[in-house]
Amino acid sequence: MTSETDGFKSWDLERYRTHGSGRAVSQGPIEPSVPNNRRRVRATYDLDPGALFWTALGTSFLSVLTVGIYRFWMVTRLRRHYWGMIRVQGDPIEYTGTGLEKFLGFLIAIVILAAYLAIANLALTFIGLSYLESNFELVFQLSLISAVPFYFWAAYRARRYIASRTRWRGIRFGMDPGALGYMVRAIFYGVLTVLSAGILWPYQQFKLEKYMVDRTSFGDQRFQQNGSWIGLLGYWIWLYIMAGLVGLAAWGMSMEPYNQQNQVVGSIVIFIGFFAFLILYLRYLAGKTKYLWDNRSVGETEINNDVSIGEVVRVYVGGSFLVSLCSALLAGVILTAGGAIWMSLGGPEQIEALMAVVAGAENSGATDVELIVAQLLLAWPTLVIFVFAYLFVMAAGFAFSQVFVTQPVLRRQVAATTIANAEVLVRSRQREEDRAGEAGGFADALGVDVGAGL
């Protein structure tokens, strides 16, 4: 009765559905024994662009209207959507975070960060002003970097929060504490990157990702990041080769400033080089994600990824183009509609009245400030229409970017993920709850990109 021919149970949802007969399809028990053939399971991503678009549009518009307060609920709802669409062996991933805990965590974080920034900036400025011989510009720029250590600390804490709120088959993911170690390493690798003129950037990224992944678990089974940073260098080095070519063209132009033909050719090379640079950077990002996911394991389970990097870059570029196009079209439609409403509200008469006020003001010698106030008072319907249109287009642009960029890229990356020896995952036991009380609030306050696509 079962469709398996090779002893492997593909967790197909169809098997859990009855079709008219009313009789359940009977199934035998699953053997937890590990089959010898290391058959691969492919993760799947269910597509529902409509639901995603309306969720993203509604929540981002609310976020804009509430001066950003709603953004914690927005992020939570979007994560819930994305997580639920990813299925491994037919069972969806689950996101259990809440907007409220994120908001409260953010409130804690801003108080701590405000106190820290105030003290650290004052101390740095005071020391700089007291002991630096000159170069006071530098002193005031010191305050810009005082939050940098926190930035790394926050990135780890945010990842830990996300892991603790992720489940599969009811079993939690989780991360060990280690934000401080992450911060120290990030600063050390950061210095190496700067000293090496950026060549060691992939080294920094690989090492830091490995630090996080090696501390992540699914239940009681630990993730491990294998491979080495050389795998990323292969994508990164192309940016340097391209920079060298562009540099060479610029050098050639400067050598013969009077040679018209050289100037034209050089300009074209630099122009193309700029776009090639962007594409190569996107290629690096896609390649990095692929390499990292291609060399991971959980317990005795191996994870691989065979996504086409070219396709990810194409989807990203094409999607971004679509987002701009749709946003521009929407802006046009809304401004036209807004203009019509404005006309019907008596816009032209207002302009006339405004002109009269301006003329009167000039005669009476009124000041610039009074003129501005008069203009604002008379033009408020225009202002309201414009502000709403702007906010709405921004919110819609965000929703478009989720549907045209984030989701298609994620879908390809998920669908390219294969899991070898997945059967042993069933041995994973539940882990203890990790409160992670500040709920990524530090990352939200500092604007750290936690790499969850949001």
Partner 1 sequence: MSEQTPISGIRAPARYFDGQTAYPKEAEVAFGERSLVIFGAFQEPIDHWPLGSLRTIPGGSGEAIQLTPHEGSEARLILADERMIRALRLVCPDLNKRKRNRGALGKAMIWAAGALGSVALIVFVLVPALSVQLAEAIPLEQEQSLGDAVAKQLTALMTLTGEGRPVFCGAPDGAAALAKMTDRLTGKLESPYPLRVEVLDHPLVNAVALPGGRVILFRGLIENANAPEEVAGVLAHEIGHVINRDPMREALRAAGTAGILGLLLGDVVGGTAILAASEAVMNAQYRQDAEEKADRFATKLLADAGLPSTPLASFFRSMIERHGDVKGFMKYISSHPQLAERARKAEAEDIIGARRFEPVLSDRGWVSLREICAGAEGHRDAR
Report the residue number, 44 or 204, with the smaller CB distance to partner 1.
44
Q: Give min distance, CB of 29 to partner 1, in A.
A: 4
Question: Which segment (62-70, 152-160, 253-261, 309-317) binds partner 1 by CB under 8 A?
Answer: 62-70
What are the Cα distances from residue 102, in Å, to 7, 26, 69, 106, 453?
Answer: 45, 44, 10, 6, 17
Report the residue number, 204 or 402, with the smaller CB distance to partner 1.
402
Q: Say whether residue 54 binds partner 1 (CB under 8 A).
A: no
Closest CA to 412 of 328, 331, 329, 311: 311
Q: Say whether residue 113 binds partner 1 (CB under 8 A).
A: yes
Q: Give the span between the Cα atoms of 107 and 101, in whole angstroms.
A: 10
Q: Which of 241, 348, 429, 432 binds partner 1 (CB under 8 A)?
A: 429
Q: Give min distance, CB of 410 to partner 1, in A.
A: 14
Question: Which segment (91-99, 181-189, 355-363, 410-418) binds partner 1 by CB under 8 A?
Answer: 91-99
Q: Say whether residue 446 binds partner 1 (CB under 8 A).
A: yes
CB neighbour class for 153 (10 Å; exposed up to 12, middle 13-18, buried from 19):
buried
Q: Which of 144, 197, 260, 261 binds partner 1 (CB under 8 A)?
A: 144
Helix (H, G, I), strand (E, B) or coil at 256: coil
Q: Give min distance, CB of 168 to partner 1, in A.
A: 7
Q: Which of 333, 430, 437, 451 binds partner 1 (CB under 8 A)?
A: 430
CB neighbour class for 81 (10 Å; exposed up to 12, middle 13-18, buried from 19):
middle
DSSP at 424: G
Q: Give min distance, CB of 336 to partner 1, in A.
A: 22
By rule CB under 8 A, what string of x and - marks binding of each residue 336-375 to partner 1?
------------------------------xxxxx--x--
Q: Which of 1, 67, 197, 241 binds partner 1 (CB under 8 A)?
A: 67
Q: Which of 100, 184, 191, 340 binds partner 1 (CB under 8 A)?
A: 100
Sign of the alpha-carbon torsion through 267, 268, 272, 273? negative
Report the residue number, 99 or 266, with the smaller CB distance to partner 1.
99
Length of the chain: 454
Report the residue number, 36 or 135, with the smaller CB distance to partner 1.
135
Q: Say whether residue 15 binds partner 1 (CB under 8 A).
A: yes
Token pair belonging to 248: 């060479």
Q: Say whether residue 125 binds partner 1 (CB under 8 A).
A: yes
By rule CB under 8 A, what string of x and - marks binding of each residue 375-404 to partner 1?
---------------xx--xx---------
Sign of the alpha-carbon torsion through 63, 64, 69, 72? positive
Question: Which segment (7-15, 175-183, 268-276, 349-357) binds partner 1 by CB under 8 A?
Answer: 7-15
Q: Which of 90, 178, 190, 339 binds partner 1 (CB under 8 A)?
A: 90
Helix (H) or strand (E) segment spanning residue 95: strand 91-95
Beta-bridge mates of residue 47 = none
What are the Cα distances from residue 141, in Å, to 144, 261, 390?
Answer: 5, 44, 33
CB neighbour class for 421 (10 Å; exposed up to 12, middle 13-18, buried from 19):
buried
| Edge-to-edge strand list for the sheet holding 91-95 | 40-42, 417-420, 301-305, 296-298, 221-225, 216-218, 171-175, 166-168, 91-95, 86-88, 44-45
429: left (phi over 0), alpha (psi -120 to 50) or beta: beta
Q: Say whether residue 248 binds partner 1 (CB under 8 A).
A: no
Binding to partner 1 (CB under 8 A): which residues in 19-38? Answer: 20, 22, 24-25, 27-30, 32
Q: Say whether residue 126 binds partner 1 (CB under 8 A).
A: yes
Token pair belonging to 378: 């008379």
Q: Say whether residue 180 binds partner 1 (CB under 8 A).
A: no
